[in-house]
Structure 1
Amino acid sequence: MDQALVIGGTRFIGRHTVEEFLDHDYDVAIFNRGNHENPFDATDRVEHVQGDRTDDAALEAARDAVDPDVVIDCVAYHPRDVRAATDIFADVDAYVYVSSGASYGKEEVPKRESETPLEPWPGDDSDESAQTYGKRKAEGDRAVFAAAEDGVNAMAVRPTVVYGPHDYTERFDYWLARIDTYDRIVVPGDGLSLWQFAYVEDVASALRIVAERGEAGEAYNVGDRHAPTLGQWVELIADAMDRPVHAVGASANELAAAVLAPEDFPLYRDQPHLLSTAKLHDLGWDSTPQEEALQATVEEHRASDRTGADEGPDRERTDVLLDAV
């Protein structure tokens, strides 16, 4: 039985990745600081090694304690994290870096791994702002490519925005909570915002498949094979919740009358964001049907206390617009 080490492993993508590897008969260890509840405490198949991933000595100690065949790096947010990890885990069978669709630096439809340019690197590894997230992820990709040139079996997986059970970001929960509560929902940009999403379990399966079948020095996009607009997502969620919801599309001018902007709403994007997943599909991966993914997402959301209230406009503000129309 192979041994997998998941750096992270308790919150969202990492949590589902641990379950994916367990389901495919791996022994699994997680490495993190222990700052979040560990859902695998009662599972004797998941070893927990505590430490800070930015501490090279702690990473080396985790390597020596676990002796992994596969390393999945879910929490590398700076290029220096990837450079250190690909050095420390240079001898493993596969090192897979969780990158992002935000690493692409050109608006193309779709974005392709071997064609679309990456974000440029400004050279500042200390900036942790959202504005540099894509640039930091792109430079992490380049660190993977450089490691592969040195003989490390390192690869990158680039998810677009991820949704599913246990999503602590609450961006998707914003829409789930409103659709589950109200009959009329304001959708910005006339509902035509196109931002491809990725179901979290499909991201987890992509990480395993790339570890098992991917090619060193390559990056693989992951996202749902069908990409609805934001307005269509509202309809899909309403169907999954069995809720009679009317989506009210609102242009930028209409929103401005209520002192709102399209960007105030989570998961809105003014440019289409679509990733080609053909390369990953060629490895044998496929995405979960959205109806199935939404049923699991809705069930877990309803059992949680997440509302996404802090992620977008409150009902009082959107009521101004709904009253006007």
Structure 2
Amino acid sequence: MDSAFVIGGTRFIGRHLVADLLAHDYDVTIFNRGNHENPFADDDRVTHVEGDRTDDADLATAARESAYDAVFDMVAYQPREVRTATRVFDDADAYVYVSSGAAYGEEEIPKREGALQGRDEATALESCTGDQAVDESGETYGNRKAEGDRAVFAAAEERGLRAMAVRPCIVYGPDDYTERLDYWIDRVANYERVVVPGDGTNVWHRAYVEDVASALRVVAEEGSAGHAYNVGDRRLVTLEEMVDLIADCLGDAADAPESAPEDAGDVEVVHASERELSIADLSTDDYVLYRDYPHVLDTKKLAALGWEATPLREAMQRSVDDHLATDRDGSDEDPGREREETLLDVLDTL
């Protein structure tokens, strides 16, 4: 394959996917509404087609007028959009849908993809009602992604399309507009004492964005029709270990502020239970990247295709360096430092 059609392509995962495809000698067409700056505007290997993916006519016209071997669907948020795309691009050599680890409907460790249509040791997917399928709220995100997976399976089994799904867990790295990791980097960079909810052993599987991008390409090239593939860091760390890793990376960063630690030993992690947090009107739910039950995805199936993850220390260093080069601070995720200071004062007296 040497040509790709990317629905999306200018923000975060899509941006890194396009960069990965270019690095592997693909010609790329990106299709989006043009609402965000196009980082590939000056690259003659990238063609930008403007349109709305929710408008079936726009999508069909773009497909008819573009060359592609592989199609990457980055921004399908309702199952109808997946069903439409798998019909519009029914002549593609590969159609890869970006699903999510949130599509899993059972809490088990690890969560496995199984084979065609979720057989063979697969973790059950979320159900999806008709109302959920057309909803746009965060509460139904996993339901809609799961139904998109089922649309991919149906396109493969019923119509012979080489359609596949990739399920990332929480994605982090350069250009992350969600600023979830930025909150923690900012905390570690600016405060000697960092409040970590629970006992610090919480595990929420994360995926470095460049690894998600390479996973999408590898699945397009090597994956099997009707299959889903999990993607996540090959080495997992607890929330407290993540804080320590950030501290070490800040110590090696050229642009770190004077307040930043030199290593993990300069940061005091303060554990706080739900009861202790309530002293300052805080809750574990106020802390981004905290999850009560461990969320772990099995990534062996993807690795069997030849995919390799970036070493965790290297991935975090790139993420920290990118954070320091931008004005992102994760402030929208901040539970409130003043309330944390109140909590810390109380805990010091206990």
Structure 2 length as normaliser, TM-score?
Answer: 0.92
- Residue of structure 2 in register with 1:137 after alignment: 145
Rounded to whole Å, the distance in 2 between the matches of 1:179 and 1:17 is 29
How much does 1:66 deviate?
1.5
Equivalent of 1:307 in 322, 329, 332: 329
How much does 1:126 deviate?
2.2
Task: Please list the CA deviations of residues 184-217 of structure 1 after superposition, one character each: whole Å capped at 9, or x if unmatched.
Answer: 1100112121101000000000000000000000
Equivalent of 2:300 in 255, 273, 278: 278
- Residue of structure 2 in register with 1:200 after alignment: 209
Please state if 1:121 is matched with 2:128: yes
Rounded to whole Å, the distance in 1 between the matches of 2:247 and 2:7 is 36
Task: Please list the CA deviations of residues 206-242 of structure 1 after superposition, one character each: whole Å capped at 9, or x if unmatched.
Answer: 0000000000000000000111111110001111111
SS at match of 1:191: coil
Rounded to whole Å, the distance in 2 between the matches of 1:10 and 1:317 is 37
Gap runs ≥5 in structure 2: 115-121, 252-260
Please state if 1:298 is matched with 2:320: yes
Q: Which has the larger radius of gyration?
A: 2
SS at match of 2:332: helix
Report the number of matched residues: 325
Q: How many percent identity over aligned positions?
A: 63
Rounded to whole Å, the distance in 1 between the matches of 2:40 and 2:299 is 31
How much does 1:312 deviate?
2.9
Rounded to whole Å, the distance in 2 between the matches of 1:22 and 1:314 is 42
Please state if 1:320 is matched with 2:349: no
- Residue of structure 2 in register with 1:162 after alignment: 171
Rounded to whole Å, the distance in 1 between the matches of 2:27 and 2:312 is 30
How much does 1:92 deviate?
0.4
- Residue of structure 2 in register with 1:86 after alignment: 86
SS at match of 1:48: strand
Structure 1 length as normaliser, TM-score?
Answer: 0.98
Q: Which amino acid aligns with 2:123?
A: T
Q: Which amino acid aligns with 1:144?
A: V
Q: Which amino acid aligns with 2:314?
A: E
SS at match of 2:112: coil
Rounded to whole Å, the distance in 1 between the matches of 2:105 and 2:86 is 24
Task: Please list the CA deviations of residues 37-85 of structure 1 after superposition, one character each: whole Å capped at 9, or x if unmatched.
Answer: 1111121211100000001111111112222111111100000010000
Rounded to whole Å, the distance in 1 between the matches of 2:313 and 2:346 is 33
Indicate the larger mover: 205-214 or 245-254.
245-254
SS at match of 1:157: strand
Equivalent of 1:229 in 222, 233, 238: 238
SS at match of 1:193: coil
SS at match of 2:203: coil
Q: Which amino acid aligns with 1:122?
A: T
How much does 1:247 deviate?
1.1
Please state if 1:147 is matched with 2:155: yes
How much does 1:317 deviate?
1.5
- Residue of structure 2 in register with 1:19 after alignment: 19
Rounded to whole Å, the distance in 2 between the matches of 1:82 and 1:57 is 15
How much does 1:286 deviate?
1.5
How much does 1:306 deviate?
0.7
Rounded to whole Å, the distance in 1 between the matches of 2:225 and 2:130 is 25
Matches within 5 A, 1:47-86: 47-86=47-86
Rounded to whole Å, the distance in 2 between the matches of 1:148 and 1:88 is 14
Rounded to whole Å, the distance in 1 between the matches of 2:189 and 2:72 is 35
SS at match of 2:306: coil
SS at match of 2:130: coil
Indicate the larger mover: 19-28 or 313-322.
313-322
SS at match of 1:29: strand
Gap runs ≥5 in structure 1: none
- Residue of structure 1 in register with 2:272 after alignment: 250
Runs ≥4 residues deviating over 6 A:
none
Indicate the larger mover: 41-50 or 265-274.
41-50
Task: Please list the CA deviations of residues 136-191 of structure 1 after superposition, one character each: whole Å capped at 9, or x if unmatched.
Answer: 00000000000001111100000000000000011111101111111111001121
